Amino acid sequence: MTSERLAFVFPGQGSQQIGMLADAAKEFPEVPATFSEASEALGYDLWDLCQNGQQADINLTERTQPLLLTASVALYRAWVARGGISPARMAGHSLGEWSALVCSGVLAFPDAVRLVRERGRLMQEAVPAGEGAMAAVIGLEDAAVEAACAESAQGEVVAAVNYNSHGQVVIAGSSAAVSRAIEACKAAGAKRAMPLPVSAPFHTELMRPAAEKLAPQIDAIEFRSPEVPVVHNVHAKTESDPAAIKQLMVEQIYSPVRWTACVQAMAGEGINTLIECGPGKVLAGLAKRIDRQITAHNIESPAQLQEALQATAD
């Protein structure tokens, strides 16, 4: 059964925590099974890492990306196994778009796990540590953020890269240019502009070399048409052609995440309920800021999943 009013959204980097999904693993056999499948694909024990490792270990991009993908897929499998209705749309924030593609049947989970590990490694390698930065800008219109970046570039790269909600934009680029843009945003009236604890300038032109190296690896994997349409970060539209989806996933690495537009596009299709499938509730919070008519749930714990099952069965 499908609900035409329901969408699933999948979080990106930043939602990882040591000990996450511990409660879900006790109640949902899909969680340990999915982590076991990922561990086999990766060649190390991913569950042990996220339960017993150090936060610094899971914050390494090449570890973070397969970890969050696995957590999201595990929870979606738990949802399906308990009779949860199928969504009409899916979307994922940055890395989360890979989770959406797996859950919509575009590519096999082990292929995705290996690909996102490589995606993380290449993105981290693209810019030496310390040379890139990201910052969150709160309380400034998109156009003003873009103008601040343009005046702050001075021959370097700095750009708006995550349009997360109205008045919440993330910028990224060369460290010095980001520092200049932070001051320019404050001068333009931003309530806050602060560096983020991220070591690479994701979704900027500085990531293009990583995208070019990942492209042949993406091309080598079988992609299928999605069973549930996925709204893509690059243009906030759906795509059914597997070759076009591959190209979008390459472009996504160095293109802005148009998350506000993605949520608005789903709302325009009649979606009024979002379920955030993965650790944390960042996307659920953003959804309410983007469109107050949207009801959002997150399903990280057994109690939350049960509550969402009941809410969407009514």
Task: Please report, in tens digits, the pLDDT of each residue of the chain (314 residues total).
Answer: 568 899 999 999 888 899 999 999 999 999 999 999 999 999 999 999 999 999 988 888 899 999 999 999 999 999 999 999 999 999 999 999 999 999 999 999 999 999 999 999 999 899 887 899 999 999 999 999 999 999 999 999 999 999 999 999 999 999 999 999 999 999 999 999 999 877 689 999 999 999 999 999 999 999 999 999 999 999 999 999 999 999 999 999 999 999 999 999 999 999 999 999 999 999 999 999 999 999 999 999 999 999 999 999 86
Q: Domain ends where: 182, 199, 216?
A: 199
Query: What gap in Å lies between CA 121 and CA 244, rounded to an integer?
Result: 24
Query: What gap in Å lies between CA 145 and CA 71, rounded to an integer?
Result: 33
Are residue 191 and residue 219 in the same domain, yes or no?
Answer: no
Q: What is the pLDDT of residue 314?
A: 65
Q: Domain ends where: 199, 228, 248?
A: 199
Are residue 257 and residue 153 in the same domain, yes or no?
Answer: no
Catalytic residue among 39, 94, 165, 174: 94
Are residue 101 and residue 182 in the same domain, yes or no?
Answer: no
Nearest to 65 by CA among 275, 252, 269, 295: 252
Check: CB of residue 171 under 8 Å from CB of residue 257.
no
**CB atoms inside a 10 Å sphere around CB 2:** 10
Check: CB of residue 284 under 8 Å from CB of residue 276.
yes
Angle at 219 between CA 213 and CA 220, to 5 degrees: 105
Token pair 């009801």: residue? 295
Task: Count how many domains the chain has.
Answer: 2
Are residue 73 and residue 211 in the same domain, yes or no?
Answer: yes
Residue-by-residue DSSP string for 24-86: HHHH-THHHHHHHHHHHHHTS-HHHHHHHS-HHHHTSHHHHHHHHHHHHHHHHHHHHHTTPPE
Query: What gap in Å lies between CA 35 and CA 73, rounded to an integer?
Result: 9
Q: Which domain holds residue 213?
A: 2-126+206-313
Using the 8-state DSSP alphabet, how is residue 222 labeled? Answer: -
Q: Name the amino acid, one letter, at 55.
A: Q
Are residue 193 and residue 215 in the same domain, yes or no?
Answer: no
Question: Which two structure tokens, joined as six digits, stand for 176?
Answer: 């010095």
Q: What is the CATH number of the domain that holds 268?
A: 3.40.366.10
Are residue 229 and residue 179 in the same domain, yes or no?
Answer: no
- Torsion sign, CA atoms 252, 253, 255, 259: positive
Query: What gap in Å lies between CA 21 and CA 302, rounded to an integer?
Result: 9
In the residue annotation, 93 being an active-site residue is answered as no
Are residue 188 and residue 98 in the same domain, yes or no?
Answer: no
Are residue 183 and residue 237 in the same domain, yes or no?
Answer: no
Query: What is the reported pTM?
Result: 0.95
Are residue 247 and residue 286 in the same domain, yes or no?
Answer: yes
Catalytic residue among 93, 152, 203, 232: 203
Q: In Å, how far from its chain's centre is CA 33? A: 23
Are residue 30 and residue 46 in the same domain, yes or no?
Answer: yes
- Residues 201-235: b if buried by 16+ CB within 10 A, e if exposed: bbbbebbebbbebbbeebeeeebeebebbbbbbbe
Using the 8-state DSSP alphabet, how is residue 227 labeled? Answer: S
Q: What is the CATH number of the domain that holds 186?
A: 3.30.70.250
**CB atoms inside a 10 Å sphere around CB 150:** 13
Q: Are strands 2-10 and 132-138 parallel, antiparallel or unpaired?
A: unpaired
Are residue 11 and residue 159 in the same domain, yes or no?
Answer: no
Are residue 263 and residue 158 in the same domain, yes or no?
Answer: no
Q: Domain ends where: 168, 199, 230?
A: 199
Q: What are phi and psi of 302, to 5 degrees?
A: -55, -40
In the residue annotation, 94 being an active-site residue is answered as yes
